[in-house]
Amino acid sequence: MRRLVWSEMSGDERHSLCSRGLSEIFDPELRASIGALIEDVRRRGDDAVCDALARFDGIELDPDDLRVGEEELAAAEVSVAVDDAIDDAIAHLRAFSEHQLVGLADWEFESEPGLQVGEKLTPIASVGLFVPSGKASYPSVAYQLGVPATMAGVPRIVLVVPPLPGGTGEVDPAVLVVCRKLGIADVFRVNGPAGIAALGFGTERIPSVRKVVGPGSPPVILAQVEMQRHGLTTMMLLGPTESLVIADASADPERLAADLLIEAEHGTDSSVVLVSTDEALAASVDRELTRQLRDLAGVRAEAARAALGQNGGCVLAVDLDEAIRIANEYGPEHLQVAVGEADQGRIVEGLVNAGEILVGQHTPFSAANFVIGCPASLPTSGFAHVSSGITAATFLKRTAIARADPEAMARMAPSVIALADHEGFPAHAAALRRRLDEFLS
């Protein structure tokens, strides 16, 4: 691991550690390329989507082949172990969503006599779910996005996924099994950025949606950002994965190394940081990482070395209070607290910028990624400072409702009239004056 000492780092060095991912996503050349691709899909629809699939994925398809048909969905199979694991994960996600939705119910109260105010919650009319492919197979992303969307009651859910690399258009059967279990029938095999554009504009065969979510490579994330100019809503940002672990001398270095490698193996653009108050622990973890890296295949080991090297590393903190400050400044996608039980509560209370917080060394990132049921599609690149993971709430919108009787209207009228007159809106004031005249007559 790269070794850093927070108290000795300059402001620029701290900023460099905490500003990961954004330069790659918003690279000017990439932005120009994605902009041209988006415009091509806007103009030529399915033909442009097929051309992008051939150009970037090496897969030749006709427009009629973009949709995954009913027979293909029905025929998709996985091993019994994977099928049972998918069921296990879906059950946990549904349980989490059910409890969340209880707290997201409609509400109303009387804010003053005769004035009722509140909110009603309704699902977004249509959403697009992007499930990545290429570096790995991600049925977990399909259910992490699909379960909350279905639990929220979204009427139209469209899922897009790139075909398996090196094939002739086949989609990972595990993703199709997830779709079948969740009742998602609109499934399309597309190149990532072109698929995002197609979801925003709508094409001859791919329906348009109002919101799109899903993690991906910098081109996929940039396509989501750019499509907001065309009215498509998205989440900011679900880019290259990252994790941070706060650990003290009580942590087990073998487990700690294993947990650091979980997110580190994703790709050379991943970032993994260990924040430790104990230099001896950091040295022990380094030795464990060297040993455990031998168990990873070449591409995974290369990714891990980048994630823990130039992209991340170990940051030594003077105490746990400084460790909390470092974690909050970093704002990680995934965060694990590997400290003594006596300190866990105050650390969790002090952490305010994280996509998820996993407490203790019996709660590894992989368990949360696959089965626990908490959101696992989480904000990256520091966006945990301002946004949250994808849950049922992501697919709901709030509408305020108010109802005033004549007495409540009369009581508010002088305030409304005074503010309308001050801001220069005579019709605003007149609407209240007329009602007030009627009420007093």
Which residue, chain included where needed, has tokens 């380094």? 286
Over residues 50-61, mean pLDDT: 95
The model's pLDDT over 272-305, given as tens digits with 9 standing for 90+, comes to 999 999 999 999 999 999 999 999 988 999 999 9
- The encoded tokens of residue 92 equal 């946990």
List, for residues 119-161, the tens digit of each pLDDT value.
Answer: 999 999 999 999 998 766 799 999 999 999 999 999 999 999 9
Amino acid at 419: L
pLDDT digits (tens, 9 = 90+) for 353-400: 999 999 999 999 999 999 999 999 999 999 999 999 999 999 999 999
The whole-model pTM stands at: 0.93
Query: Looking at residue 67, what DSSP letter applies?
Result: B
Residue 333: closest CA among 370, 303, 296, 358: 358
Query: What CA–CA distances, in Å, run from 165 to 132, 184, 253, 374?
Result: 11, 23, 37, 30
Distances (CA, A) of 125 to 199, 206, 210: 14, 16, 7
Per-residue confidence (pLDDT) for residue 136, from 0 to 100: 66
Residues 6+ apart with CB under 8 A from 37: 48, 52, 193, 194, 197, 223
Whole-number pLDDT of residue 22: 73
Measured CA to CA, the distance from residue 343 to residue 321 in angstroms comes to 10
Closest listed residue to residue 130, CA positions, set 194, 77, 51: 194
Residue 135 is predicted with a pLDDT of 63
pLDDT score of 166: 86
Instruction: Round to whole Å and give the CA distance between 102 and 308.
Output: 40
Q: Which of 334, 349, 362, 428 is catalytic?
A: 334
Q: How does pLDDT run across 180-219, given as a tens digit for each residue?
A: 999 999 999 999 999 999 999 999 999 999 999 999 888 9
Per the document, the length of the chain is 441
**Residue 230 known to be catalytic:** no
Q: Please give the pLDDT value at position 415.
A: 96
Residues 6 or more apart whose Cβ sits within 8 Å of residue 60: 50, 53, 54
Going along the chain from its start, the domains and CATH numbers come out as 3-21+240-372 (3.40.50.1980), 25-230 (3.40.50.1980), 405-440 (no CATH)
**Among 108, 333, 341, 362, which one carries the catalytic annotation?**
333
DSSP structure string for 267-296: -TT-EEEEEES-HHHHHHHHHHHHHHHTTS
For residues 237 and 283, the model is more confident at 283
Helical ranges in 309-425 per DSSP H: 320-330, 341-350, 365-370, 406-423
Going by pLDDT thresholds of 50, 70 and 90, the confidence category of residue 422 is very high
Q: Which residues of 7-33 are buried (b: 16+ CB within 10 A; e: fewer)?
A: eeeeeeebeebbebbeebbeeeebbee
| Active site (annotated) includes residue 334 | yes
Q: Which of 10-14, 225-229, 235-239, 270-274 has the lowest mean pLDDT?
A: 235-239
pLDDT interval class at 25 (50, 70, 90): confident
- How many Å apart are CA 151 and CA 395, to the nearest integer? 9
pLDDT at 239 > cutoff 80: no
pLDDT (0 to 100) of residue 21: 66
Q: Show the CA angle centred on residue 240, arms to residues 238 and 245, nearest 5°.
A: 100
Question: Which of the four pLDDT bands, split at 50, 70 and 90, describes residue 436?
Answer: confident
d(CA 433, CA 409): 11
